[in-house]
Amino acid sequence: MSAPFAQSVAGRVQKIEVSPLRTAAAKRKYQIRYMSGGNITAAPSEIIVNSMWLPMERLAVKVSGDPSVEASIEEHLPGAKLTQGVSYTASAKVVITHKQPAAAAAASGAAAVAAPKLVTVTIMAK
């Protein structure tokens, strides 16, 4: 079983916390804190959650620290058996999108640069 991992982060990671693998599924928690801001917020953050850690249908995602951030569970990545004894299980992809300040971009005629904000993403059981 694999714990969740961030395959891309729209900012500088400050802290990652993961409950131990032996924790009951209903109490598992993955939390990442990062500073968003600047022109990097145009790219999303993506977190892969293995179905053995917590199945996609039981995932709950909470984001705090920036009201312009939206989280969604966008994909179910199927598992596969590669060879005898070598396989991987299905996963879900959690995508955190940072919305650019449109009014500021329109006023300046250029892409807006967002002020840095501490964003916290928590993934847990529903």
Per-residue pLDDT at 73 exceeds 90: yes
> What global pTM score does this model have?
0.83
Report angle CA 55, 58, 61 to the nearest 5 degrees: 110
Domain span at residue 9 reads 5-105+115-125
Q: Is residue 91 part of a domain?
A: yes
Q: Is residue 110 part of a domain?
A: no
Q: Is residue 98 part of a domain?
A: yes
User: For 40-59, what is the mean pLDDT?
Assistant: 87
Q: Is residue 78 part of a domain?
A: yes
Q: How many domains does the chain have?
A: 1
Q: Is residue 77 part of a domain?
A: yes
Q: Is residue 60 part of a domain?
A: yes
Q: Is residue 97 part of a domain?
A: yes
Nearest-Å Rg of the Cα atoms of the chain is: 17
User: For 86-97, what is the mean pLDDT?
Assistant: 90
